[in-house]
Amino acid sequence: MSLKPLLPGNPSVNSGQQTTLGVLGGGQLGRMFVQAAQAMGYFTVVLDPDPASPAGLVSHHHIRTAYDDEQGLAQLQQRCDAITTEFENVPAHALATLAAQRPVAPSAACVAVAQDRVKEKAHFEQCAPLSGVAPAPHAVITTDASLNAVPADLLPGILKTARMGYDGKGQVRVSTREELAAAWDGLDKVTCVLEKMLKLRAECSVIVARGADGQVVSFPVQKNTHRDGILALTEVFDGALDATLAQRAQASTVAIANHLRYVGVLCVEYFVVEDAGGSLDLVVNEMAPRPHNSGHYTQNACDLSQFEAQVRALAGLPLPTPRQHSPAIMVNLLGDLWFEPNAVRAQASRQPVSPPWAAVLALPGTHLHLYGKLGARPGRKMGHLNVTGSSVAQVRATTAQALALLGLPGLDA
């Protein structure tokens, strides 16, 4: 990837157009990348097969083809000066094809690691001597023989498919060898990773941005709450997580990015676990080669959002260290809100009804971000609410009010 910066508004590969940045994938992360790029003066192109994709609806150009369509990729190459992706399950070979002609960040090799839990765990283990943070004890299951060879001390555990798992999908909790065998059979005996179940005390994540010149900057550590395998809340402020653990998580994430020679925005998720002696420790869980749901608070609480950082890393612009100016809590908004919890809605014909946004936005420090998705359905990520304020107490109080208005569980639920 060239170290020469792609400045907005400059002549580009596109005759008569401004510098153009492309993104594979048209979801909400692509939409917010496009909006950040456009705010800085770039033209944008989205490749996504969905004609109503959130990113495609706001981009200058929308190429409506499959991610591995040769003609679509050729169009993306022709229109763009540099290209990124907004989700890890884009075909890595498509990124490799694009990289033959244009700067692509992150690289196909980095995305391929994030797509496969086996490769991901191996990478984390390689980084452990440098980062001081290792993955959970685990075993790779590919055959009946490897299934039978699983050490007894890995049970109870969580069986996870090596590929295509996200938001809790492709995961089964197992307590015995019989349950393990049945679960693997239920997953069609695809390659899996069995992780030992640890005593979980908290979850957190760290987002870093790394440039092609090797410069790395880190956002604050984010404390995350998941419900049913989907992120529900992210809290970011002093005291949300033990300071020593937070520093270790940041250092570990930088080490992981450097070891991959990563370029772009990277999120690494961690478990805070309790050992047999009652002490807390960190375990690295997984990584996402893109901006992350847990980093959405940066749009309103930091002087540099994760999406602007993604634009800067892709374009080769300087990466200043992000500064958080306000305590923040991010609330994930799922499609369930359009149907529940109002009893009147539940008794109706299950037609979606808009949540009480006016009441929520009357609260000080609330910032609503909806993704432009045309249909709400339970479990679908429809948007997020960032809450900022001058103090942690104020942010928590406002968030509690917003959650009550939306009928969502409280902060400590």
CA 158: distance to chain centroid?
21
> Token pair for residue 196?
């030992």
Q: Which residues, including other chains, have CB under 8 Å from residue 49's CB and lie 6 or more apart? A: 64, 65, 66, 67
> Token pair for residue 122?
């191996």
What is the C-alpha separation between 204 and 208, in angstroms, rounded? Answer: 14
What is the C-alpha separation between 197 and 179, in angstroms, rounded? Answer: 14
What is the C-alpha separation between 45 and 55, in angstroms, rounded? Answer: 9
Residues of the binding site: 117, 160, 165-171, 195-198, 203, 226, 285-286
Q: Which residues, including other chains, have CB under 8 Å from residue 139's CB and lie 6 or more apart? A: 146, 149, 150, 151, 154, 193, 194
Amino acid at 342: N
Q: Length of the chain, please?
A: 413
Place of tokens 């002609």: 101
Residues of the binding site for ATP: 117, 160, 165-171, 195-198, 203, 226, 285-286
**Alpha-carbon separation of residue 170 from 231, 241, 291, 348 (angstroms):** 16, 29, 22, 33
Residue 398 half-sphere exposure toward CB, CA atoms < 13 A = 26
CB atoms within 10 A of CB 69: 16
**Alpha-carbon separation of residue 63 from 105, 374, 377 (angstroms):** 19, 19, 26
**Alpha-carbon separation of residue 76 from 45, 51, 69, 127, 280 (angstroms):** 7, 16, 11, 35, 47
Strand blocks (E) in 289-358: 328-334
User: DSSP string of 35-73?
Assistant: HHHHHTT-EEEEE-S-TT-HHHHHSSEEE-S-TT-HHHH
